[in-house]
Amino acid sequence: TLDPRLGSSSAVEERVLRLTSEGARSFEFESNDGGGVRCGWRELWDQLRQLEGGAPLADEAWFQNHYRWIAWKLACQHRSLQHIVGSRGFSAEAVLKQLRHRYDRELVRTELPVLRRICEGDETPATHMVLCIAAADAASSSLELTDGWYSVWAKCDAPLTKQLVRGRLRVGLKLRLCGSSRIGDASDHGRPWQLEHSAAAPRLQLNANGTRRAQWHCKLGRCRTNAFRVGVDSLQEGGGQAPVLEVRVVRVFGPLVFLPREEGGNAWLTLPHFEDLQRREEEAQRARHEHADLKRDSRADGRKGAKDDGGEDDGDDDDEGDPQRAVDLSAARLTWKLLLLDAGGGVAG
């Protein structure tokens, strides 16, 4: 067991109020009797190895990582729910108890958390999960996200970057994610406590359309459902794919022919209009061929006359150009337009 003088958080109240996820790495608990006894991750690491069964499957890096996240979690609970967790909720003894629990679950029973599975390549980063913002770096548009066990830095897209700059993405906020993607080499896998973690080298790409705020009491980690529903009116340009849309088809327009144009102003044509355009283009193409044949015959007659007169053909091709400009119909494709009614009440085209 721990030193009985360790435990209560009353002596470290001010430090708890200022404790961040980064500061939790080196946080040390203090005694309440003024004896100056301190207990950090090194002391608890020795305590864990002295318990029954020891910790032969763990190393210091694994232990220090979990010490950080448990200490930060308990500090947050102590700040917000002290009337529920009590004075013993944030203590070295509570941290050691949860460390032992995590050792049994993760290393003995191999019940792996979602971010470890993603880092090791056993889970797709597009999975539906709830993560908490542990740190934010507006300069690099990156967030450090944690599932309570491990963390990973993620890059925000343009719409999320605007939210980050405005202060709407803050530390402690829980996010519901679906459809995120991996950044960098897909073969760069490994145990999360052995990989490089920094805002300058994010590993996940977040998409605004697949990111929503989660309620404060939502459980962190992988969710049971494969995705979550979003409203049509909440979709943002440049925000990536939406997880799930629930809509009703109110009206169908089509079949239509979509004709992209390089100069802009893409055209949507009905089939009769497109067939008429094809017919006129065929007639124009025949006219261009006849015009080209006529010019070729005229040049041939001119060269023959110049040769008979002893002159020289200067080869000057006085091409006046085609009287009709060609229209590229090869990129045309058949499509339909739908008028959709969002299940939430919005209408979108």
The encoded tokens of residue 190 equal: 């490994």
pLDDT attached to residue 16? 84
Residue that terminates a domain, selected from 234, 255, 274: 234
pLDDT attached to residue 319? 47
CA distance 225 to 333: 36
Q: Does residue 226 sit in the same domain as residue 146?
A: yes
26, part of any domain = yes
Q: Does residue 28 sit in the same domain as residue 104?
A: yes
Percentage of the chain with pLDDT > 90? 48
Interval 255-303: pLDDT, tens: 888 888 777 678 888 888 888 888 888 888 888 888 888 888 777 766 6
1, part of any domain = no
Beta 204-206 vs 151-156: how paired, if at all? parallel
2, part of any domain = no
Among 83-87, 230-234, 292-296, 325-329, the minimum mean pLDDT is found in: 325-329
Q: Cα angle at 244 between 132 and 122, to 5 degrees? A: 55
Q: Does residue 157 sit in the same domain as residue 228?
A: yes
The CATH number for 127's domain is: 2.40.50.140
| Residue 106 CB coordination number (10 Å) | 18
310, part of any domain = no
Residue that terminates a domain, selected from 187, 203, 234: 234
CA distance 145 to 153: 6
**Dihedral sign computed on CA atoms, order 277, 283, 286, 290:** negative
71, part of any domain = yes
25, part of any domain = yes
Q: Does residue 86 sit in the same domain as residue 121?
A: no
Interval 91-111: pLDDT, tens: 899 999 999 999 999 999 999
Residue that terminates a domain, selected from 195, 210, 234: 234
Alpha helical stretches, state H, the chain: 13-18, 41-50, 60-80, 82-85, 92-102, 114-119, 158-165, 271-308
Q: Does residue 258 sit in the same domain as residue 345?
A: yes
* First-residue to last-residue Cα distance in the chain: 65
227, part of any domain = yes
195, part of any domain = yes
Q: Does residue 67 sit in the same domain as residue 170?
A: no
Domain that holds residue 270: 246-290+328-349
Mean pLDDT within 162-173? 95
Number of domains into which the chain is organized: 3
Q: Does residue 349 sit in the same domain as residue 286?
A: yes
Q: Does residue 222 sit in the same domain as residue 132?
A: yes
